[in-house]
Amino acid sequence: MPKPLTVVAVAGAALLVRRALRRRVRASPLWPMPALDEPVSGRPRRRALRLLLTSHRTVAEGVVQLRLAGDGLPRWEPGAHLDLVLPSGLVRQYSLCGDPADSSSYTVATRLVEDGRGGSREVHEQLREGMEIEVRGPRNRFPLVDAPSYVFVAGGIGITPLLPMLRSLPDGAEWRLLYAGRTRASMPYLEEVRALGAGRVTVVAEDEDGRPVLDALLADLPEEAAVYCCGPEGLLAAVAERVPGVRFERFTAGVVEGDAFEVELRRSGRVLTVAADSSVLAAVRAELPDTAYSCEQGFCGTCRQRVLEGEVEHRDEWLTDAERGDSMLICVSRSRSDRLVLDM
């Protein structure tokens, strides 16, 4: 068991990293998040697809790759992701890492997160070849821009959105990649990545090489270089510290910061305070622990609640304009007024 002080120190460090990252995110040209490749609000949502899981195999230590087959699947561009609706109802986002020209299947990969929220464990342990899986998307918040040169930084499973980007770069493109992981055995697609760019790829396995040295990689970057990063929060924060304009992808709970406000739960007769760095969902769950939620990123609609009074600041990518008239997704959205009244 870790000692209490150790726990506090680790939690404190994690908070500092999150705060640093939020500051960097907001300083980034990508804040607020870039527009989706098609607007969601004001349009009918794209129909969910039911695809057949034709392959479920281990491609690195703790990483499984899924192939989901269907006919005439919607096109996607490198950087796009899919929402998978798991049999339990959890919704999780995974970057597409196969071939964008393949209209008969989608490929994603996921790492087992031992102390995660349950989605990766369900993918690893419950999904079987032959099952039908509901998917939504693809959507792209991490598009590859035209640039004279590129720097990619991947941590472990973070290689997945970058892999289709690397494959799509034209011959003669100037790029380099740092691919870091705990051990070589835990790094998916390592051989393919190496083969894509002899001399351009630096592989850092921490058990052999120690922590990746970012300064050398990110020193003297031309101003127009596009820098892409995907991986654990510590890596994102370290890159953002050095390159404020970094483009990144992350599928953890959304950034929910804003001003503090009150929420009245009319049917329950409670009034809560939503702190500046917390979400309505977190405040509500502290009082009503059974409140439904899943993605915590405004993607899945599970946490939708009816709004009786107050002005909502919608931050989701799910509700249509009509739905925004009287409801909100409480995992990400906040209030423009001092108080919101919810029908809960």
Closest CA to 196 of 230, 152, 247: 152
What residue type is 248 in one-letter code?
F
Least distance (Å) between residue 252 CB and ligand FES: 13
| Residue numbers at the binding site for ligand FES (CB under 6 A) | 293-296, 298-303, 316, 318, 329, 331
Give the residue with the Cβ less far from ligand FES, 229 or 329.
329
Minimum CB distance to ligand FES, residue 330 (Å): 7
- Residue 256: CB minimum distance to ligand FES, A: 11
Nearer to ligand FES, 225 or 283 (CB): 283
Q: Strand 91-95 to strand 49-60: parallel, antiparallel, or no bridges (unpaired)?
A: unpaired
Query: Smallest distance from the beta carbon of 14 to ligand FES, in angstroms?
Result: 22
- Residue 12 identity (one-letter amino acid): G
40 versus 123: smaller Cβ distance to ligand FES: 40
Least Cβ distance, residue 95 to ligand FES (angstroms): 18
- Please, which residue, 67 or 141, has the CB nearer to ligand FES? 141
Longest dimension (CA), the chain: 65
Nearer to ligand FES, 188 or 298 (CB): 298
Which of 269, 260, 262, 264 shows the shortest CA–CA distance to 341? Answer: 264
Indicate if the alpha-carbon torsion angle 110, 113, 114, 119 is positive or negative.
Answer: negative
- The owner of tokens 């890596």 is 235
Measured from the Cβ of residue 343, the count of other Cβ atoms closer than 10 Å reads 13
Rounded-to-integer distance, Cα 209 and Cα 206, Å: 5
